[in-house]
Chains A and B, each alone.
Chain A
Amino acid sequence: MVMVPKIKLNIDGNTIEVNKGKTILQAASSIGIHIPTLCHDPRLEPFAACRVCMVEIERGKSNALITSCNTEVTDGMVIRTDSEKVLKTREMVLELILSDHPKDCMTCGKCGACKLQDLAYEYGVRESKFFEEPDGGVVEDSNPVIQQDTSKCILCGRCVRICSEVQQDYAIDFKDRGFKTETGLPFGMSRRDTTCVLCGQCVSTCPVGSLVEKQAVGMGREWEFKQVKTTCAYCGVGCTMYLNVKGNQIVKVTSKAGSIPNDGNLCVKGRFGFDFVHHPDRLKQPLIKRNGKFEEATWDEALNLVASKLGEIKAKYGPDYVGVMSSSRCTNEDNYLAMKFARATIGTNNVDQCART
Chain B
Amino acid sequence: MSFGSGSMTNSISEIKDCKLIFLIGGNPTEAHPIVGLEMKKALRNGCTFIVADPRKIWFAQHAKLYLPVRPGTDNWLLNAMAHVIIAEGLENKEFISTRTEGFEELKAFVKDITPEQASEFTGIPAEDIRQAARLYAKSEKSAIYYTLGITEHTCGTDNVRTIANLALLTGHVGKSSTGVNPIRGQNNVQGATDMCLPDKMTGYQGVTDNAVMEKFEKAWGVTLSRTPGATAPTMFERMDKNQFKALYVIGEDPVISEPNQDSTIKALKNLEFLVVQDIFMSETAKYADVILPATSFAEKDGTFTNTERRVQRVRKAIDLVGNTRPDWQITSELSTRMGYNMNYSSPKEIFDEIANLTPILAGISYERIEQNGIQWPCPDAKHPGTKFLHEGKFPRGLGKFFVLPYRAPAESPDKDFPLLLSTGRTLYHYNAGTMTRRSEGIIHKTNECFVEVNQADAKELGIFDGETIRIATRRGEITARAEVSGKVKKGVIWMPLHFAESAVNKLTIDAYDNITQTAEYKVCGAKIEKIPG
Query: Given A229-B315, A306-B292, A307-B337, are A276 and B191 neighbors across the interface (CB < 8 Å)?
Result: no
Please, how many angstroms separate the alpha-carbon atoms of A235 and B194 in the complex? 16
**A326 in contact (CB, < 8 A):** yes
**A143 in contact (CB, < 8 A):** yes
Would you give the 0/1 interface string for B160-204, flagging 1 where the beta carbon is closer than 8 Å to chain A?
Answer: 000000000000000000000001111111111111111101100
Contact in complex: A282, B331 (CB < 8 Å): no
A298 to chain B, nearest CB (A): 9
The stretch that binds B, out of A100-108, A120-128, A267-275, is: A267-275
CB-contact partner of A325 in B148, B216, B235, under 8 A: B235
Contact in complex: B445, A331 (CB < 8 Å): no
Contact in complex: B438, A275 (CB < 8 Å): yes
Please, how many angstroms separate the alpha-carbon atoms of A339 and B354 in the complex? 11
**A19 in contact (CB, < 8 A):** no
Query: Given A286-B290, A317-B245, are A350 and B445 neighbors across the interface (CB < 8 Å)?
Result: no
Please, how many angstroms separate the alpha-carbon atoms of A284 and B322 in the complex? 5
Contact in complex: B427, A357 (CB < 8 Å): no
Contact in complex: A283, B315 (CB < 8 Å): no
CB-contact partner of A321 in B245, B313, B428, under 8 A: B245
**B481 in contact (CB, < 8 A):** no
Please, how many angstroms separate the alpha-carbon atoms of A326 and B327 in the complex? 10
CB-contact partner of B440 in A275, A302, A333, A355, under 8 A: A275
CB-contact partner of B327 in A317, A330, A350, under 8 A: A330
The stretch that binds A, out of B74-82, B97-105, B132-140, B299-307, is: B299-307
Which residues of the other chain, A, contact B486 by a CB distance below 8 angstroms? none
**B316 in contact (CB, < 8 A):** yes
Contact in complex: B184, A236 (CB < 8 Å): yes
Interface SS of chain B: helix, strand, loop or mixed?
mixed
Please, how many angstroms separate the alpha-carbon atoms of A289 and B298 in the complex? 28
Q: Count residues of chain B with CB under 8 A from any CB of chain A.
A: 144
**A340 in contact (CB, < 8 A):** yes
B49 to chain A, nearest CB (A): 13
**B382 in contact (CB, < 8 A):** no
**A187 in contact (CB, < 8 A):** no
CB-contact partner of B192 in A294, A307, A335, under 8 A: A335
Which residues of the other chain, B, contact A228 by a CB distance below 8 angstroms? 315-317
Would you give the 0/1 interface string for A195-232, flagging 1 where the beta carbon is closer than 8 Å to chain B?
Answer: 00111000000000000000100000000001011111
The stretch that binds A, out of B27-35, B85-93, B394-402, is: B27-35
**A240 in contact (CB, < 8 A):** yes
Q: Which of under 10, 10 to 19, 20 to 34, or 35 or more describes the interface residues of A?
A: 35 or more
Contact in complex: A333, B328 (CB < 8 Å): yes
Query: Given A215-B441, A238-B187, A350-B198, are A303 and B337 neighbors across the interface (CB < 8 Å)?
Result: yes
Contact in complex: A333, B302 (CB < 8 Å): yes
Contact in complex: A324, B232 (CB < 8 Å): no
Query: Given A228-B316, A321-B243, A331-B314, are A306 and B288 neighbors across the interface (CB < 8 Å)?
Result: no
Tell me the A residues contacting B by CB distance below 8 Å: 143-145, 165-168, 192, 197-199, 215, 226, 228-240, 243, 245, 248-250, 260-262, 265-269, 272-279, 281-289, 294, 297, 299, 302-307, 309-311, 313-314, 316-317, 319-357
Interface pairs (6), CB distance under 8 Å: A165-B44, A228-B315, A276-B439, A339-B201, A343-B216, A350-B198
Q: Other CB < 8 Å A-B pairs besides A198-B442, A333-B347, 20 of them?
A: A144-B444, A234-B436, A235-B33, A235-B187, A237-B306, A238-B310, A245-B318, A260-B373, A268-B427, A276-B296, A282-B324, A283-B293, A284-B323, A284-B324, A324-B247, A330-B192, A330-B251, A339-B195, A345-B335, A351-B229
